[in-house]
Copies of this chain bind each other. A is one copy, B any other.
Amino acid sequence: MEPERAWGQATAWMGTLADLDGAAAVLEWDRETIMPPGAAEARASQLATLAGLRHAHLLDPSVGEPLDALCDAEDPWRAASARIAIRERRRAARVPETLVRALTEAQSRGVAVWSAARTTGDVPAWLGALTPLMALTRDHGQALADGGDAYDALIDLYEPGTTHAMLAPVLESLAQRVRPLVDALAGAGGPPLPAGPWDDAAQMDLARYVIRDMGFDEQCGLVGRTAHPVTMGLGAGDTRLSTRVDPADPLSCIMAALHEGGHALYDQGVPVPRRRTMAGDAPSLGAHESQSRFWENHVGRSPAFWDRLHPAMARAFPGVAADLSADDYVRALNRVERRPTRVESDEVTYDLHIVLRTRLERAMVLGDLDVADLPQAFDDGMDELLGIRPSAPAEGAMQDVHWAAGIVGYFPTYTLGNLYAAMLADALEGAVGPVGAVLAEEGPAPLLGFLRERVHRHGRLMETPDLMRHATGRDLTPDPFLAHLERTYSPTASVP
């Protein structure tokens, strides 16, 4: 087939996929931010219809020949797009459209039920929605696996090419090496910040200030507010991120802003002309998470960041923050503490939460754990790994939106993100300078420049291991992450 004609057909086909994905993202953003409660059922149905149409379009047989013809294209963007498209089509062909629709509808309902039940602590309502959803997720994994491991097939949706057999040793060895650190460091860091109240609007203003300062382009996106912070790409030129506000703790809002800001900068960094192709995105969630974790942990927990921000804090919260120093923030933030809530955990304990979720979700998918037993298993697992028990369902198995949204196989990518982020910070130190020194001298622009050059601009041209090898010169290794923890959290390092 003539290459230009093949590319013309492929781009039209990919453009429709991009439009359907963008439209679904608009519906989801609206749902997470302002949708009235009475619309839940209609919205679930709309998303199911879009998912069904996407599925049918993805499998359109007429594009098979053009895609095959493009696999050997000289232009790497064309070849990568064809390769990714063929893999997605092969995967989609394994899942019947009825299952796709049922899953999407159950996911929308799951989020709505979770959102209400988490507030009221209504565990039975939540489990009532989760049970059929998890059964559908298992069906999904089995259909995708085509005789292989259902959990591996689900991981592959988020972290292509990675299996549980590859992940498990890394996760379990991290847990082993981190647990003594937790024992040694628990209680390190300073006291928490004053309880406030920290003004609601001022927190959002400050979050917007931080995100703009990182380099976020507000002409091509916006910052909102949700219960669970999130970043969404709604199409080229429309990247949205949200943070949350806790009146007793401004750090929660700012760290979420840094985290989601990292995702958002990645989304904005993929070249716009590539956005409507299959290669115009990140190659995996682990790659994406490397960006959010870089900004959250390597930037946001550094003394240099708080040296820059603390005057703005004092202006934003004149009653509470007037007498706080940069050091007070760093010490409050870098407190190592066994906390039940993953998103509020410090960097040292964080991955223990991921180990727990990975064990549990795998067990649910493989049928080794009943959903009805999940709350108990969650609490027991936290006890074993972290030595604490959640005090309420909202701090236990119900704390995350992921399972309620049918997102299974996703949690391990957070830890991959932590490892890649540390590898990137090491590489940045070699190429530009240490994160803190760069930030102190030139602000965040050189950090973003490094990430744009080494990661963002490549879109999905390479799979994640290749991309990270290209960016850092190394294969996946936990060593820089552990070195970073030891350096940052040793008793002398935490008060620089």
B23–A30 CB distance below 8 A: no
Query: Known contacts A23-B50, A30-B30, A50-B23; is A220 also within 8 Å of B43 by CB?
Result: no
Q: CA separation between A20 and B20, bound complex, in Å? A: 11
Q: Is A53 an interface residue (CB 8 A)?
A: yes
Chain B residues with Cβ below 8 Å from A62 are none
Chain B residues with Cβ below 8 Å from A35 are 238
Chain B residues with Cβ below 8 Å from A19 are 42, 45-46, 48-50
B222–A38 CB distance below 8 A: no
B234–A42 CB distance below 8 A: yes
Select from chain B the residue with minimum beta-carbon distance to A24: B23
Q: Is A66 an interface residue (CB 8 A)?
A: no
The contact string, 1 if C-beta is below 8 Å from chain B, for chain A 369-386, is: 000000000000000000
A41: which of B46, B53, B222, B237 is its contact (CB, 8 Å)? B237
Beta-carbon contacts under 8 Å, A10-41 to B: 15-16, 19-20, 22-23, 26-27, 29-30, 34-41
A238: which of B43, B53, B217, B237 is its contact (CB, 8 Å)? B43
B221–A36 CB distance below 8 A: yes
Beta-carbon contacts under 8 Å, A208-266 to B: 217-222, 234-238
Q: CA separation between A238 and B45, bound complex, in Å? A: 13
A36–B222 CB distance below 8 A: yes
Q: CA separation between A8 and B291, bound complex, in Å? A: 49
Query: Known contacts A20-B49, A45-B19, A235-B46; is A220 also within 8 Å of B38 by CB?
Result: yes
Query: Known contacts A16-B49, A37-B219, A238-B36; is A42 also within 8 Å of B22 by CB?
Result: yes
A218–B36 CB distance below 8 A: yes
Chain B residues with Cβ below 8 Å from A27 are 23, 26
Chain B residues with Cβ below 8 Å from A219 are 36-38
- 7 examples of A-B residue contacts, CB within 8 angstroms: A19-B45, A26-B26, A39-B238, A41-B237, A42-B236, A42-B237, A53-B53
